[in-house]
Chains A and B, each alone.
Chain A
Amino acid sequence: MNSLTFKRHLIESFKSLKRNGWMTVAALSAVAVTLLLVGVLLSVLMNINKIASDIENDVQVRVLINRGTSKKQENTLRQNLAKLDEVKSIRYSSKKQELKDVIGSYGKEFKLFSGDDNPLNDVFVVKAKKPKQTVKVAKQAEKMKYVYTAKYGGASAKKLFKIVDNIRTWGIGISLLLLFVAVFLISNTIRITILSRKDEIGIMRLVGATNGFIRWPFILEGAWTGLFGAIVPIIIVDFGYVWLYRILSASLASTGYHLLTPGTFLIQIDLLLILIGIIIGALGSGLSMRRFLKI
């Protein structure tokens, strides 16, 4: 196809959008509603996933060091821990620091245990490379010399991992289902607009137009429908998300968990909606007219 013909197809597709009137409005509305659904659900799912990951990543092993262990011995232990393949980071927290945390969390009464009365242990806070390796790290750490015990949240951590796994699987499932619904809804609406133009396609063939010449304006029209249909959902999702982000991040602040920041995340969602719209619009259009082009 030369540039002249492509320009002609481009102009033709725009004219057709305009002249199809209510058919175009119907197709645009169907695309807009579907993409809005996709946009909202995707934002929710991605944030649930983010928070689930935050929670999961929060799981760590607290390796309590035997009382009376010397600094040198503590260093040996740190080196041994660091040798484990699964270990990502090790942070030292003295018993003094630990008590400070307790006082911070539970109140000034615990100041009673300051100084030599401090019953707490020095601690290595160990993070695994992958959250699920936490259990393994804890078990290995427990066997090491100078270790009093290694805690990782036990059964509750295992339960958490399972929940997060479930959320992920369901999230992927729902996303796929949603994508399928979007494909179905958008391509069906476009198919109806093309069905109404079956005779037109027949005439084009009778005056000597090749299939490609007939098909391109329709494909472009489908793509425009997808693109323009994405505008309203993008506006709603963007403004809605920024608004909700402001409200929710204030209340989430105390928990230490965060929603995805609007900037890059919204650009990704916007691009995805545009892409889904254009691809499904063009494909739906191209595929629906295939049977009218068979001789």
Chain B
Amino acid sequence: MIEFTHVYKKYDNTTAAADFTLQIKQGEFVYVVGPSGAGKSTFIKMMYHEERPTSGKIKINEFELDKIKNHEIPYLRRELGVVFQDFKLLPRMTVFENVAYALQVIGKKPAEIKERVEHVLALVGLVNKADSFPSELSGGEQQRISIARAIAKKPEIVIADEPTGNLDPGTAEGIMDILERINQQGTTIVMATHNSTIVNERKHRVIEIESGKIVRDQQEGGFSEHE
């Protein structure tokens, strides 16, 4: 459950979020669309507390982010699987270790970690790259590792910032299949995207942000209002 109540985020001269009030229920699949610089990334980053709102309340499951203590932040992030726009892979760790890290953090046992990592790497089609380092992979492959890491711990909520941005249409479809499959198992998916084909073909709730304002919140919506 994600809840935004009158959330504002202001930078020096710009407002990245103006009065965001919305609710995303457990198990929903939500696209966040809008032009570059509209405030999509700010919206996403506020959920995992990398950006803090200037005012307003955000609630992610049981965490009230305006009241969250510093030592509680890791525990908030453990409930989320985040696919970062710039992948954020650990450069000195192999593909396997990158995915395993998210599981080590929550104290999983080595045998369980091995099984889980192999499973998600197979899902994103990168088992054969397990021992490679991120610098040896293409952008698309790094993105898939980032997705594998986000879903490995079976989080209740997956937040993805442009997860298909660097992928060819075939791979992008594959990633969408994975996201939809875990959504069907009850995971909430919040996905910022520029990919109109995907949004129009796989209909879900669409939240459109423009100049820091939510201009549309539509069930089964298209990429733009008239689609």
Binding site for B on A (CB under 8 A): 2, 4-5, 8, 16, 19-20, 197, 200, 203-211, 213, 295
Contacts and interface: CB of A to CB of B under 8 A. Distances in A.
Question: Which of A5, A16, A197, A200 has the most chain B CB atoms inside 10 A of its CB?
Answer: A200
Contact of A207 (B77, B91, B107, B110): B77
Interface string B1-34: 0000000000000000000000000000000000
Contacts of B75: 208
A208 B106 contact: yes
Given A208-B78, A209-B74, A295-B73, A203 B89 contact: yes
Contacts of B76: 208
Interface string B34-76: 0000000000000010100000000000000000001101111
Interface of B: 48, 50, 70-71, 73-78, 80, 82, 84, 88-92, 101-102, 104-107, 109-110, 149
Question: Which of A8, A197, A207 has the most chain B CB atoms inside 10 A of its CB?
Answer: A207
B149 A207 contact: yes
Contacts of A207: 77, 82, 88, 101-102, 105, 149
Contacts of B74: 205, 208-211, 213
Given A208-B78, A210-B74, A295-B70, 4 more contacts: A4-B107, A4-B110, A207-B101, A208-B75
B91 A200 contact: yes
B76 to A, nearest CB: 8
Contacts of A4: 107, 109-110
A8 B109 CA distance: 10
A211 B73 CA distance: 10
Contacts of A20: 92
A205 B48 CA distance: 11
Contacts of A200: 90-92
A200 B74 CA distance: 16
Contacts of B91: 200
B102 to A, nearest CB: 5
B114 to A, nearest CB: 13
Contact of A209 (B50, B70, B105, B149): B105
B90 A208 contact: no
Contacts of B109: 4
Q: Which 8 A-B pairs have the closest CB atoms?
A: A208-B77, A208-B78, A210-B74, A209-B105, A19-B92, A203-B88, A295-B70, A208-B74
A206 B71 contact: no
A167 B187 CA distance: 74
Given A204-B90, A210-B74, A5 B101 contact: no
Contacts of A211: 71, 74
14 contacts: A4-B109, A203-B89, A204-B90, A206-B48, A207-B88, A207-B105, A208-B75, A208-B76, A208-B80, A209-B101, A210-B74, A213-B104, A213-B105, A295-B73
Contacts of A203: 88-90
A16 B92 contact: yes
B50 A8 contact: no
B107 A5 contact: yes
Given A20-B92, A295-B70, A204 B101 contact: yes
A156 B90 CA distance: 70
Nearest to B133: A19
B90 A206 contact: no
A62 B67 CA distance: 83
A11 B203 CA distance: 46
A206 B105 contact: no
A8 B97 CA distance: 12
Contacts of A295: 70, 73
Nearest to A205: B74
B84 A206 contact: yes
Contacts of B89: 203
A197 B92 CA distance: 10
A206 B50 contact: yes
Contact of A208 (B84, B88, B102, B110): B102
Contacts of B71: 210-211
A205 B124 CA distance: 24
A19 B133 CA distance: 11
B1 to A, nearest CB: 19
Contacts of B106: 208
Contacts of B90: 200, 203-204
B45 to A, nearest CB: 10
Nearest to B50: A206
A63 B13 CA distance: 94
Contacts of A208: 74-78, 80, 102, 105-106
Nearest to B106: A208
Nearest to A295: B70
Question: Which of A2, A8, A209 has the most chain B CB atoms inside 10 A of its CB?
Answer: A209
